[in-house]
Structure 1
Amino acid sequence: MAAASSCAGFCRAGWQPCFQFVRHGSKAVTRHWKPMHFLRQQLMAVTEYIPPKPLIAPECRPPVKIDEEEHGFVKFLRRQVEQTFRENNMIAVCQYNYAPGGEIALMRHRLRKYNIHAKFFPNEVLRAVLMESKYKNLLPLFVARNLLLVSPETRAREMLRVLKNIPQITLLGGCIDNTLMSKEGFNNYAKLLSMATTQGEVVGALSLLPSQTSTLLQRGPIHLASLLDQYIKQQTSSGAEVKEGGDS
């Protein structure tokens, strides 16, 4: 009676019996994490592998270059740069600032009259080519946007005359006949006389010395001949006077 009354009381209070599902056939977990024994820790620390230190520190080793395959267009530009430096005797490096397209086209037209051509190449390609050539001392000139003015002839005077009217393009330096020159070097080279005039002056200077030498060599015989002529005249005049005195 007491159990029935207590059950009735729980049911009236809203209590429900608890059901528990039991899974049969499962294995009990018997492996739990345990800390390593102190002696074993010491044994593992003593027997740990320590790799030998390299003879050269990694910081002192040269960087390893990764050979990247160049794009076909980059190879084409490299060949163009190599051909430009190989076939031209005058190479001027200029800094190219913004200018209207019409002025650049007019400048290229004026330069083409003197067989001077303007070349645009990326600085990355130019640096890669010049680093492996005899023009590596030109590398400091290639900063920002650059322009090459090249010609198979040495037309520095005509080039400076055209660039004088275009302030957007500044001459930095270059190379003439395998000789590196600065901006002042180009100005001094442009003031030189032409090859024909210089050759004429050299020929005149060389011919002046032989002419002076021949004049000096001929002066003695000519003076001697004049003295002999004068002596012969004196002798003939004195002989004629002696004859006149004997006749009288």
Structure 2
Amino acid sequence: MSYLVKQVLLQSRTPLVQFQRFRGKINIQRPQKPHYERARVTAVTQPIYDKPPPEKNCFKKALKTDTINPYDKIIAKEVFNWLEHSKMVGIFHLNPISEDELFKIRVALHRQNITFKRYGKKIIKMAVDNTKYEAIVPLFDSNHCIVFSPEQNVATLIKITRKVPQMLLLGGILENRLLSRNEFMNFANLPNLQVAQAQFVSVLNMAAGQLVQNLEAHQNSFVNILDVYAKQGVSESGDATPEVSVEAASMEAEISAKESKITEVKDSTSADEESAKLKDDKPSSKKSDSEEPKE
């Protein structure tokens, strides 16, 4: 009996019909849209609840007003004072950097009499509003830093900041003039004021010396011509035989030609004078011949 129960009642049998899904996995978070008829039925059957009454609050919301903090005014005056009394101002974009590296930069700049500062855009805008420095406001849109120096240590500043890739130069102010990055870098390659003054003095001295040389050029050339002519006369007499250059020979030929012209003019004038004298003598001789027969 137990064998029959095990074989007939307790034995598992495979089902004759097996259901299988062919649509894939069901996404619970993003279910598919139902059929139009079903969607309309669900929309109609949704319950409508009454809105809860609004809560009564005794406190009114405070309106936000743009009030200026007095401490911000003090900091803005400090920034404007730095801009007015600094001969060199450098503006840098500051990438993410650790405080230890930033402290090292501050120390290196402080040793060269350069002050490192960081201010917010609101403070900068408040400090330079309606001033001659208003053009630097667009440079402070992102994270930035600014350096001040009472001296024009441009080369030293660039030498220090080259070692820090997190600091990128955007521009600067030198002698109350806004410079771009390229102009700021070119200014570092210029010599200092003393060297520029020495070069200017040398140019002025060169111009003065050239003017004196041009004024004395004709006199010196005339003296040289006379010297060559005198040496040539000595060489013809046999006392000395100096070497005469081609140019000196040409100058001597010109002088001799001029002398020959002068002698010809003198000869012609002397001949004219003699002919005039002869004409004057002829009438006197005729008068003397006519007077002799009367006696």
Match 1:166 to one of 150, 164, 167: 164
Q: CA deviation at 1:76?
A: 1.8
Q: What does 1:3-18 align with in structure 2 at a 5 Å threshold?
A: none
Q: CA deviation at 1:187?
A: 1.2
Conserved 8 A contact 2:77-2:127: no
Deviations 1:33-87 (A, max 9, x none): xxxxxxxxxxxxxxxxxxxxxxxxxxxxxxxxx9865333212201211111110
Q: Which residue of 1 aligns with 2:216?
A: 218
TM-score of the superposed pair, with normalisation by structure 2: 0.53
CA–CA separation in structure 1 for the residues paired with 2:212 and 2:187: 37
Match 2:131 to one of 130, 133, 152: 133
Q: Which residue of 2 aligns with 1:75?
A: 73
Give 3-state SS (helix, strand or coil) of 2:216's partner. Answer: helix
Q: Which residue of 1 aligns with 2:194?
A: 196
Conserved 8 A contact 1:87-1:152: yes
Conserved 8 A contact 1:123-1:146: no
CA–CA separation in structure 2 for the residues paired with 1:174 and 1:233: 70
CA–CA separation in structure 1 for the residues paired with 2:136 and 2:231: 80
Could you tell me which runs of 5 or more consecutive residues in structure 1 were left unpaired when the two chains were aligned.
1-65, 242-248
Matched residue type, 1:202: F
Conserved 8 A contact 2:170-2:181: yes
TM-score of the superposed pair, with normalisation by structure 1: 0.62
Kindly tell me the number of residue pairs found equivalent between the two proteins.
Answer: 176
Matched residue type, 2:216: Q
Bigger relative CO (Cα 8 Å, ≥ 6 apart)? 1
CA separation of 1:235 and 1:188: change in aligned 2, threshold 3 A: closer
Whether 2:97 is the aligned partner of 1:107: answer: no
Give 3-state SS (helix, strand or coil) of 1:166's partner. Answer: coil
Give 3-state SS (helix, strand or coil) of 1:167's partner. Answer: coil
Q: Which residue of 1 aligns with 2:265?
A: none
Conserved 8 A contact 1:88-1:150: yes
Q: CA deviation at 1:229?
A: 4.7
Q: Which moved more, 1:104-113 or 1:220-229?
A: 220-229
Matched residue type, 1:122: G
Work out the percentage of aligned pairs sharing the same amino acid.
24
